[in-house]
Every structure is written in structure tokens, then in C-alpha cells.
């Protein structure tokens, strides 16, 4: 039988899409340290996550908070209150959006602020700004195994 080239293209496109758009199978927890080594920062200060993912803040020094909003203007979405080294605070983000937050004692004086960005799964490839570390999200999910791949390419054409 004559190989139909559009069909071959369709099969290849399907294989590529299976590899390229595999969705994570489960929610992921992103860790942020508050005041590591006494520094007045959230580390990392910005995380990009998907709906259903969690952010877990861990206090690296005493007397900080994670409070949604801008310094002096809490918006009430979350507020850990002041906590000390070793404390943790976890929140699940189910809606997309950009969520700024700050530390109550150090947001205004010292720009101790952070951002949680919640974007839909399979977004366009994120551009890295200069000096920005690559996103650390583990790529889980179905991966086309070599055997399946061979099988796909051996479909009668
Ligand atoms: Cu602080």
C-alpha cells in the first residue's frame, strides 16, 4: 500500500503532542523559605505554579509572616501571622491569577515581598528573564516509552 504522507505526518504529530503536552499527574508542592539565614527575603521570591498546586512556606528565622496583598494593604486571601524559625504554612491555590504577598514587619521597610503566579497547565513556554533561574517544576506524567513509540510507527500505513 502506498504510504500516505499526510497520515504519516498525523502520526508523528500525535507522537510529538503526547510527549510535548503530557500533563502532570498530581499536584505539586512548591517550597519557599522565609528569612533564610536572617535575610529579609522570601526564597524564591516568585513561584509559578498550576491550579491545585500548593505553596509551603518554611520559616528560616524568627518574626516573619506571609500575608497576601501589598505592604500595609493586606487583601485577606491568606495571613500566617507572625511566626518563628521552623514554623510552616501551606496554602493550596485553585484559581489562576497573580498573588502578591509580603511580610508584615519587613514588607514596607525592606521590600520583603513575594509573588505566587498560578497559570493554567500546558502554558506557552515561559521566557526566562536575564538572571532568572529555570523553573524547578518536575516534569511528571506519561512519557512515551520506546516500545510504544515503535508500535506507533509500525502502524500499517
Ligand atoms: Cu519579615
Predicted confidence (pLDDT) at residue 79 exceeds the cutoff of 50: yes
Residue 54: is the preceding peptide bond cis (ω within 30°)?
A: no
Q: How does the average pLDDT of the chain come out, rounded?
A: 80
**Has domain 25-124 been given CATH number 3.30.565.10?**
no
Q: How confident is the model at residue 65 (pLDDT cuts 50, 70, 90)?
A: very high
35 CA to middle of ligand 1, Å?
A: 6
Nearest alpha-carbon partner for 57 in 79, 77, 37, 87: 87
Question: Which of these, 73, 64, 68, 122, lies nearest to 91 by C-alpha position?
Answer: 68
Domain ranges of the chain: 25-124
37: exposed, middle or buried (C-beta count within 10 Å: 0-12, 13-18, 19+)? exposed
Q: What is the pLDDT of residues 91-116, one digit of tens each?
A: 999 999 999 999 999 999 999 999 99
* Residue-level pLDDT at 134: 62
pLDDT confidence tier of residue 71, bands split at 50, 70 and 90 = very high
Ion ligand 1: residues, Cβ under 5 Å: 64, 103, 106, 112
Q: Residues 34-55: what's their mean pLDDT?
A: 98
| CA dihedral of residues 81, 85, 88, 93 (deg, nearest 10) | 60
CA 10–ligand 1 middle distance (angstroms): 54
Q: How confident is the model at residue 137 (pLDDT cuts 50, 70, 90)?
A: low
How far is Cα 144 from Cα 141, in angstroms, rounded to an integer?
10
Average confidence (pLDDT) over 67-73: 98
Per DSSP, the three-state class of 83 is strand
Amino acid at each position: 500500500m502506498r504510504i500516505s504522507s499526510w497520515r504519516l505526518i498525523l502520526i508523528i504529530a500525535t507522537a510529538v503532542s503526547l510527549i510535548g503536552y503530557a500533563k502532570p499527574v498530581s499536584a505539586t508542592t512548591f517550597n519557599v523559605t522565609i528569612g533564610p539565614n536572617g535575610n529579609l527575603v522570601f526564597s524564591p521570591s516568585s513561584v509559578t505554579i498550576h491550579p491545585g498546586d500548593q505553596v509551603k512556606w518554611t520559616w528560616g528565622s524568627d518574626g516573619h509572616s506571609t500575608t497576601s496583598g501589598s505592604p500595609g494593604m493586606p487583601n485577606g486571601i491568606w495571613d500566617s501571622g507572625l511566626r518563628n524559625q521552623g514554623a510552616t504554612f501551606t496554602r493550596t491555590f485553585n484559581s489562576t491569577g497573580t498573588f502578591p504577598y509580603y511580610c508584615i514587619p519587613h514588607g514596607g521597610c525592606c521590600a520583603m515581598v513575594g509573588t505566587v503566579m498560578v497559570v493554567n497547565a500546558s502554558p506557552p513556554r515561559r521566557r526566562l528573564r536575564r538572571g532568572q533561574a529555570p523553573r524547578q517544576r518536575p516534569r511528571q506524567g506519561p512519557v512515551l516509552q520506546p516500545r510504544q513509540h515503535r508500535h506507533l510507527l509500525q502502524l500499517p500505513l
